[in-house]
Structures are given as structure tokens and as C-alpha cells.
Amino acid sequence: MVGLYSLWLIWRGRIGWRTALWSLSTLHYWFHIPDAFNWYVPAILAFYLLAPFYVRLFRRCSRKEWLTAAMVPLSYGLYRLSIPLHLNYTEDFLCRIPAFALGILMGSYLLTGQVLTRRHAIAWGAVSLLGAAVTVLRLMNRLYLSPCYLIAAQLAPFTLLAAKVLELVPLRRIHGFLRLLGTSSLEIYLLNVIITREFAVLSPYLDYGPRHAFYYLVIYSINLLLGILLHRGLERILPRRRLTGQETAATVS
């Protein structure tokens, strides 16, 4: 996707071959190369590289929730350190370390069949309230904290609550559609990165109605459809090994 989009940008005269090669190397973000592809691809590759080491630590830790919570001050500390080092352009990556840790924790819950108790509900509810309080302070200009932290604070409680609601909703088609979006989420986001950058090119054809409502309705529908088709196409082309529930549970337990 990076290569195809870079060819498009070269054809439009918006970047040169040197910038395209930096994008394809996935190193452009770390060296702060202007006009290169989105930060997301280098960042997610870095998280893939970190994952085996973090999961090994996660498996050995008896207080997995506390380890996950510890990623917040670690992330913020690294971000503050990046400022005097003139590396604060890596904020997008550093501020998403808590979300990365939450993803590992949620995956562990799923693969090990973790039963969420009342104690869990109280703890996650407290996290959500804390995030809401910090959000209010931020809106009042009393405290500045990256929105990434605030979203992460609400993310796990919202996900768990939504999962509980979906257990009670007997509409299997909703479950199937959400599963389809989840399995295609990487491809959907890669295309979303491109689409959101091309508003000036696409809006003359689709920008009707108040607040660009028609544009976003059409473009995000196309985004979802193409992302799903791309994922299905890759599944047919690339060999992959499906892990059984027991194998994946043993990986994180």
C-alpha cells in the first residue's frame, strides 16, 4: 500500500523518488523525513518487534493489570525525555504504548477465557472515571495530556461493556459484521490513511451537504469495502497457519 500510494504521489508531482524510497524503507518516521507516508506503518512495525519481548515479560508477571498500568508513566516519561532530545516528533508512537499494552491484556483475557468479576468491573470503571476527569481538566485548560492517553483510559472499559451488551443481543449478524471489521482492521486503516490525506482530490466529486456528511458516508463505506476485499485477497494469496484455541492460550498463559 505504501508503494502504490507513493507511485500515485510521484505521478501527481507531490513527492520525488527519494521520499518514496524512504517511505518504503519504513524508516522515514524515525528520521523525520518530510512528506513521507504516514507514521502508522513504521510505528506498528516497531510494536511488532517489541511484542515478543513484552509478551515474555507479561507472561512472567503475576500482576498483569499493574504491568499494563505501568506503561502509562513509562510512556509519558519517554515522551517528556524526547523533548530535550529533539525527538518529540515520535509522540504518536510513544503515546500509544499504553494502547499497545492494553491490546496485549485484552488478548490475554480472550485467549485464556478470563472471567470478569465485580472487582474487575469496579477497577475498569475507576479507570474510565479517571480518564473522564482528566478529559474535563484538559478541556478547561487546567491540564494537558495527549488525547491518546485519554482514549486508552476509556478504551478497555468501553470494549468490555460493549462485549457484555453484545452477549445479550441475539442479532448474530451484528457479531459477524464486527468480526469481519476486526479481522480486516489493518487493511482498513492503511486505506484510511490514504483516503484522509486525499480530501482535496476527492472532495470535488463527493463533497455535498453540511459538514461534509455525504463525503464521509461514501468515502468511509468505500474504505471499509476495499479494506475487507484487500484482506480477503491477501488471505487467498499468502499462506498462513491457524492456531487452535489451546495453542494460543498457552502462548500468553
The grid cell for 180 is 469481519
Identify whether residues 246 and 192 lie together within a single domain. yes
Clarify whether residues 125 and 21 are in a common domain. no
The Cα–Cα gap between 217 and 182 comes to: 20
**Count of alpha carbons within 13 Å of 93, Cβ hemisphere only?**
21
pLDDT at 13 exceeding the cut of 70: yes
Tell me what percent of the residues of the chain surpass a pLDDT of 90: 51
On whether both 159 and 177 belong to a single domain, the answer is no
Please check the confidence at residue 41 and state whether its pLDDT lies above 80.
Answer: yes
Specify whether 103 is located in the same domain as 186. no
Q: How far apart are CA 32 and CA 18, in angstroms?
A: 14
Helix (H, G, I), strand (E, B) or coil at 37: coil
Is the same domain home to 111 and 212? no
Residue pLDDT, tens place only, 192-245: 988 888 888 888 888 887 888 898 899 999 999 999 999 999 988 887 655 444
Residue 3 contacts residue 24 (beta carbons within 8 Å): yes
Query: Please, is 149 exposed, middle or buried when counting C-beta atoms within 10 Å of its C-beta (0-12, 13-18, 19+)?
Result: buried
Same-domain pairing of 128 and 180 = no
Rounded Cα distance between 20 and 28, Å, is 10
Q: How many domains does the chain have?
A: 3
Regarding whether 151 and 75 lie in a shared domain, the answer is yes
Residue 140: predicted pLDDT: 87
Same domain, 159 and 52: yes
As a whole number of angstroms, the distance between CA 2 and CA 24 comes to 6
DSSP classification of residue 193: H
Is pLDDT at 48 greater than 90 in this prediction? yes
- Please choose, from the candidates 113, 114, 111, the residue with its C-alpha nearest in 3D space to the C-alpha of residue 243: 111
Window from 102-116, 127-141, 239-253 with minimum mean pLDDT: 239-253
* Distance between CA atoms of residues 100 and 33, nearest Å: 25
Do 147 and 46 fall within a single domain? Answer: yes
- Mean pLDDT of all residues in 125-147: 86
96, 140: one domain? yes
Residue 186's nearest CA partner among 218, 144, 232, 146 is: 232
Statement to judge: residues 188 and 76 lie in one domain: no
Query: What is the mean predicted confidence (pLDDT) over 32-59?
Result: 94
Query: What is the spatial distance between Cα 141 and Cα 135, in angstroms, rounded to a whole number?
Result: 10
Q: Where a domain ends, among 124, 151, 168?
A: 168
Same structural domain, 79 and 57: yes
Please tell me whether residue 33 adopts helix, strand or coil conformation.
Answer: coil
Is pTM, for the whole model, over 0.85? no
Range of the domain at 250: 171-253
